[in-house]
Amino acid sequence: MLLQAASPMAIPVVTLDPDVTAPAKQVSQPQVLPAFASSSAPLQHIDGAFTDAVKIRELARQVDVVTVEIEHVNVDALEEVANEFAQTGGRSGQGIKVFPSPSIIRTIQDKYLQKVHLAARGVPVAPFLPISADPSAPVSSDDPLGSLVPAVVEAGKQFGYPYLLKSRHLAYDGRGNYVLRSGEPEAVRAALEALIPASSLSAPGARPLTDRLYAEKFAPFVKEVAVMVVRGASGETRAYPAVETIHRDSVCHIVYAPLRPPASANSGVGHDQRGLNAVVGRSVDERAQEDAQRAIDALGEGAVGVFGVEMFLMEDGSLLLNEIAPRPHNSGHYSIEACNVSQYTAHLYAILGFGLPPINLIPPAAAMLNLLGYSSDASQDFLRPDGVVAKAISMGAAVHMYGKAGCRKGRKMGHITVLGTSDADARRQIAELAALLPGAYA
Ligand code: ATP
Ligand code: MG
Ligand code: MG
């Protein structure tokens, strides 16, 4: 989708992805773009892992700006090329820029450090604790996980049950989250074994046990909210409207834009004592946008590009930040058809130094339905004559199929965006479409 946004401006994009047939590589072939026909070497997509330092270097040589669409990348390698090529490297020989900066990606990669960073800067988050090994109890080689048990039980004493144990690294779509329902030894053991498989303890370069998990108090939210923020190199920010996100099995399923909060939430108590949400009685949308922009500013100077800010709307109208994605985000896909400037175009403007546009939702309401795989060949079903895509087309909705090579349960295979004359209209259209999806997603 980033390449689709780059195309109308003839911005050549080179993609690094392990998959030779990656969706982005199907969208454009940079070497044939006429704007760059006179350049000496043809531009070429690169097949390689996001963690491969050699491939990251190869990418950096071909471009002027490096950005990411996933946070699980080799940050050390990005930092190296950012420093080494800062003045004279890159395609133009004028130096390259890496946005967002590697140090910000590093902070966000570790969900615990991300929370520490944000909380220290006054961003409201659910209470959290590190899960560290008991220093007085030496780690037993027979039972390494045993050293974490006291910290898990202690978090339960502080937070009550249920609470969440979360993996600090490589988490996505809820993989890495565990809802712990009691402090009983078997329950604690099952949680630790689920989050830290034995195979991961002996793997080469395995992370130390005390660096694996953290605990987070359960937030009994009334809605999940997300705000896309775009920040330019000059430090200016713009927010997209707050949206409601609905998850199924911890995977984003539906997004409604704009957010329609319960009436009580709009005059919520806010967080006056913390200096945030200071004006009581302001709309949730305004407060969510403001908090999201403040959170992105709190990441520091290198926060350039778009960011997805996930939040919890609480019963009393207050907002807690759940996590930040340093990239375009699923909750912002609706912006492709429903906003004057999509999250992808806004990202390009920001990282290329074009300045930021005003951002508006065009129709009164919009909504997005993810097409999540429910079997290994579900992608065929979406395209059946009586399937969800045909229905979407008949309704005038926008269909995006990603062209991913394989389908599996929960995999994001595409999405559909509807525009509505009202929130009720957008919801009705989504309900009609979702009714054509099987079981869990209907
Ligand atoms: P993503 O795919 O968005 O990166 P992730 O794997 O990083 O997801 P989280 O965003 O931490 O996971 O959590 C996934 C979902 O679990 C949230 O969207 C929310 O529904 C639920 N959740 C997470 N933390 C809490 C909490 N403290 N209290 C209640 N529910 C939570
Ligand atoms: Mg996440
Ligand atoms: Mg999340």
- Give the confidence band of 264 by pLDDT, cuts at 50, 70, 90: confident
Give the pocket of ligand 1 (CB within 6 Å). Answer: 126, 164, 166, 171-177, 216, 218-219, 224, 247, 250, 310, 322-323
Predicted complex ipTM exceeds 0.90: yes
Pocket test for ligand 1, best of 68, 118, 129, 177 (most atoms within 8 A of CB): 177
Q: Whose C-alpha lies nearest to ligand 1, atom 9?
A: 174
Cβ burial of 51 (10 Å; 0-12, 13-18, 19+) is middle
- What are the beta bridge partners of residue 214? 130, 166
| pTM (whole model) above 0.90 | yes
Across the range 221-239, mean pLDDT stands at 97
What is the model's pLDDT at position 369? 98
The proportion of the chain whose per-residue pLDDT surpasses 90, expressed as a percent, equals 79
Q: Whose C-alpha lies nearest to ligand 1, atom 21?
A: 250
Closest atom of ligand 1 to CA, residue 323:
10
- In angstroms, the Cα distances linking 333 to 147, 391, 399, 425 are 43, 20, 11, 19
What is the model's pLDDT at position 31? 67
Q: What is the mean pLDDT of the chain?
A: 92
CA of 174 to the centre of ligand 1 (A): 6
The token duo for 422 is 């009202």
Closest atom of ligand 1 to CA, residue 221:
29
Q: Whose C-alpha lies nearest to ligand 1, atom 12?
A: 174
What is the model's pLDDT at position 86? 83
How far apart CA 261 and CA 255 sit, in angstroms, is 14
Name the range with the highest mean pLDDT among 37-51, 126-140, 251-265, 417-431: 417-431
Residue type, 31: Q
Pairing of strands 398-401, 305-313: unpaired
The token duo for 336 is 């492709």
For the chain, what's the residue count?
A: 442
Q: Whose C-alpha lies nearest to ligand 1, atom 2?
A: 173
Of 60-74, 263-277, 328-342, which range is least confident?
263-277
Ligand nearest to the CA of 330: 1
- Among 238, 239, 237, 236, CA closest to 227: 239
Closest atom of ligand 1 to CA, residue 171:
6
- Among all chains, which residue has been given the structure tokens 């409207």? 241
The token duo for 428 is 């009705």
Radius of gyration of the chain (CA): 22
Q: Whose C-alpha lies nearest to ligand 1, atom 4?
A: 172
Tens digit of pLDDT for each residue in 41-79? 678 899 999 999 999 999 998 899 999 999 999 999 999
How far apart CA 99 and CA 260 sit, in angstroms, is 33
Across the range 192-196, mean pLDDT stands at 96
CA of 395 to the centre of ligand 3 (A): 31
How far apart CA 256 and CA 31 sit, in angstroms, is 38
- Give the confidence band of 356 by pLDDT, cuts at 50, 70, 90: very high
Tens digit of pLDDT for each residue in 102-147? 999 999 999 999 999 999 999 999 999 999 987 776 667 788 899 9
Predicted confidence (pLDDT) at residue 33 exceeds the cutoff of 70: no
How far apart CA 228 and CA 236 sit, in angstroms, is 14
Pocket test for ligand 1, best of 115, 249, 250 (most atoms within 8 A of CB): 250
Closest atom of ligand 1 to CA, residue 176:
6
CA of 197 to the centre of ligand 3 (A): 22
Residue type, 34: P
Predicted confidence (pLDDT) at residue 278 exceeds the cutoff of 50: no
Residue 122: phi, psi to the nearest 5? 85, 10
Ligand nearest to the CA of 312: 1
